[in-house]
Each structure stands twice: as C-alpha cells, then as structure tokens.
Amino acid sequence: MQNTVCLGLLLLLLAGCNITSPNAAYEQKLSQWKGKTAEQLYDAFGTPNQTSPIDDNTIMVTYNEVTNSPLDGDFEPYADELNYEAMAVPSYGTMALSPLYYCQTSFILRDDVVVDYNFNGDDCL
C-alpha cells in the first residue's frame, strides 16, 4: 500500500513538471517557416551559406552563424551536461583560443516551399 501511495505521489509530481528543451523557443520560431516560400525565407535569412540538392525538386539550404560571444549570454552552454575533468590540462603559458559559439540551421525546400527544418549548435536563438 505504501509503495502505491509513493508511486502515486511521484507521478503527481512529475505531471506538474514542465520539461522543455533549452532550444524550445528556437524550435517554435523555426516551425512557423513550414509552408513559407523560398523567397520569404531568403528575404528573412539572406543568402544561405550552403545549398545542397536532394532531388529534382528538393533542396536543403543551410545558414551558419559563428560568434565569439554567445547570443544568450550563456558562456558555458554545456556546463551541466559535460564534465571532463580528466582532460583538463594547464596551458603552460600558451595563449588561450577565443571560444566560438555557433548555430547551424537548415531548411528543406520542395518546389520552393519550406517543408522541414533542422538546427544544431550551442547558441541557437
């Protein structure tokens, strides 16, 4: 009986949690592009960094954004996810490289209409 009560309370607590992806806002922003024309996409994003044909009427256009400073101010985006203390080594006086933050966003266009999208990076807003 006690296990059933504990399980019920646990399920109730989990139901109240709002688990969202850190990039949920960017995901929502991109989802609004489905159904838009290529012209509308290019007007908003500019010329893509790369265009790759998929088949006769489908292409993938990719935009890359690389900055020296994060757009959201989060200088350690994976601090809670990655921990490689064994790999930490002193610099021995060598100059440290400036960190880079990036976001790569791709759109799939079929017959000049956005049908899908994807993104990857540590600074997608």
Q: Which domain holds residue 125?
A: 36-74+98-125
The reply to whether 41 falls in a domain is: yes
CB half-sphere exposure, 20, CA atoms < 13 A = 8
The answer to whether residue 5 sits within a structural domain is no
Arithmetic mean of pLDDT over the chain: 77
Is the entire prediction scored with pTM above 0.95? no
The answer to whether residue 62 is domain-embedded is yes
Count of CB atoms within 10 A of residue 22's CB? 12
The CATH number given to whatever domain includes residue 45 is 3.30.1450
Residue range 32-76, pLDDT digits in tens? 999 999 999 999 999 999 999 999 999 999 999 988 765 555 555
- Asked if the structure places residue 7 within a domain, the reply is no
Tell me: the pLDDT tens digits for 70-113? 555 555 555 555 555 555 555 565 666 667 888 999 999 999 99
Asked if residue 85 is part of any domain, the answer here is no
How many independent structural domains does the chain possess?
1
- Examine residue 106 and state whether it is found in any structural domain, yes or no: yes
